[in-house]
Amino acid sequence: MTSATPKPDPGNAPSPDPAQRRREQRGWYLYEWANQVFFTSVITVLIGPYLSGLACAEAGAPDAATCTGGAYYVYPLGIEVHANALYPAATVVAILLQILLLPIVGALADRSRNKKGWLFSLALAGSLSVSALYLVTDSYLLSALLFLAANVAFGAAEVVYNAFLLEVATPDERGRVSSTGWALGYLGGAILLAAHLVLVMSAPSLGLEQGEAVRIAFASVGLWWIGFTLLALQRLRNRHGTAAGKAARPRPGAVVGQFVHTLKGMRRYPQTLLFLLAFILFNDGIQAALRYAAPFATQDLRISQEILMGTILMIQFVAFGGALAVGALARRIGSKNAVLCTLGVWCVLVALGYLLPAGEPVLFIALAVGIALVLGGSQALSRAMFSLLIPRGREAEYFAVYQISDKGSSLLGSLAVTLAVTWTGGYRVAILSLIVFFVVGGFLLWRTDIRKGIRDVGNEAPQKV
């Protein structure tokens, strides 16, 4: 296997015209605005308590508090699962499916002349799946399956979307563009979540049950997702793909074989691999904290649904400013050092979260403010750093590895949460374990030589990394 430096593919390079790049960047931002509502309203706020409520009712629990402290089980596909563990268990299955499918999506998108078509198809599949939750009134299993389908489509679309970053921004622009996209995504999520908060709080006066209001919120997420995706695609443009893309479309088996070849080839880039390992570990803590904040708050801390939604709404606006602030910090001290700073803050916040007493919403809100300040910056800058560690022409395929690293870390956290909730009936015990992921992941990131990794793949390094 040759170790020659990869040559850039000018056909996939960002436009040399700044005005054209800005137009494409605005389209790229719009997709973040479009899909973030699924993560904000569905994953972070609504689906966890909703699925738990359906499962607890199926198991015979009179209310959520009793379900948390009691032995109430459901049996999806004949497997015994505590009713409160249904949501993390469904997440584990979704992550496993993504780990199997994302390599194929990434490799095929790299070879496609129609990357926009891939993004549209996957966004449409996700929006239809989440919208269909409106039609399901009392089946915990069907609701879990629809959430699973939407989650898989969400992750697959992210692979294609992230690959566009290398085509719309130069190396020096990627930190700013990635952070701006993340910030605007939080702002879009906040706007729709505000509407959902009003809907849920006003449900009785509108003649709606809370469950029906939540299902209406699910449908609105699907409409928002696909609607703004269409606007985003108007500003993005297709490039010709890799040289392999000019040949006939490969069979899925060949794609998987090439993906395995890609993983083996990545051994030539040890700094890229070390960064991915660090990302898997520290992102595990971030993803677990985000995904299970809602059930932890409502079930363990006894926070009402209205206060929870208001807090998450506040987080979106604070995170908008936080992502921009951390991006500005990165321009002063470098992306790597900025991410290391955020990981130190995460360690403190997770420890405080474990110690929070039940029934104290003010303390919960104060903790949420701290989380919001570091939430977007650590993820946005990680994405920007990884974009510099990819050989040109392999963007979607390498971002498939990145997305699998993202989902793989979510898998570790979701497995830990599923086991902890099954054993204890609550989420508090699982929270403390997240510190390990932040500490070990931060240490590995500290050991990663980002600038050397950029040189190894043949890319141009920005002034500060």
Q: Measured over all CA atoms, what is the biggest interatomic distance in the chain, rounded to whole angstroms?
A: 69
Torsion sign, CA atoms 294, 400, 278, 440 = positive
Identify the CA nearest to 44 among candidates 219, 297, 263.
297
Distance (Å, whole) CA 319 – CA 313 = 10
Query: How far from 42 is each of 21, 121, 126, 220, 369, CA to CA, in Å?
Result: 32, 20, 12, 11, 20
Backbone angles phi, psi at 74, to 5 degrees: -120, 165
Asked whether the beta carbons of 253 and 381 are under 8 A apart, the reply is no
Distance (Å, whole) CA 44 – CA 192 = 13
DSSP label at residue 86: H
In terms of pTM, does the model score above 0.75? no
Complete domains list, the chain, with CATH: 15-241+251-456 (1.20.1250.20)
Both tokens of 419, joined, read 């086991």
Identify the CA nearest to 47 among candidates 407, 359, 315, 292.
292
74 beta partners: 81
Distance (Å, whole) CA 276 – CA 441 = 10
3-state secondary structure of 206: coil
Identify the CA nearest to 194 among candidates 47, 316, 293.
316
Q: Containing H/E element for 309?
A: helix 305-333
Distance (Å, whole) CA 308 – CA 1 = 54
Distance (Å, whole) CA 368 – CA 434 = 16
Query: How far from 88 is each of 35, 49, 220, 311, CA to CA, in Å?
Result: 21, 11, 24, 22
Q: What is the pLDDT along the chain (465 residues), one digit of tens a residue?
A: 344 443 444 456 777 788 888 899 999 999 999 999 998 899 888 898 899 888 888 888 777 667 776 778 888 888 888 888 888 888 888 888 887 887 778 777 767 778 899 999 999 999 999 999 999 988 999 999 999 999 999 988 988 888 788 788 887 787 788 878 877 887 888 899 889 989 988 888 989 988 899 999 999 999 999 999 999 999 988 876 554 444 445 555 665 666 677 677 778 888 988 998 898 888 888 887 877 777 788 777 888 877 888 888 887 778 777 877 888 888 889 889 999 999 999 999 888 888 888 888 888 888 888 888 887 677 778 878 888 888 876 766 676 677 667 655 567 777 777 777 777 767 777 777 788 889 999 999 999 999 898 888 877 777 677
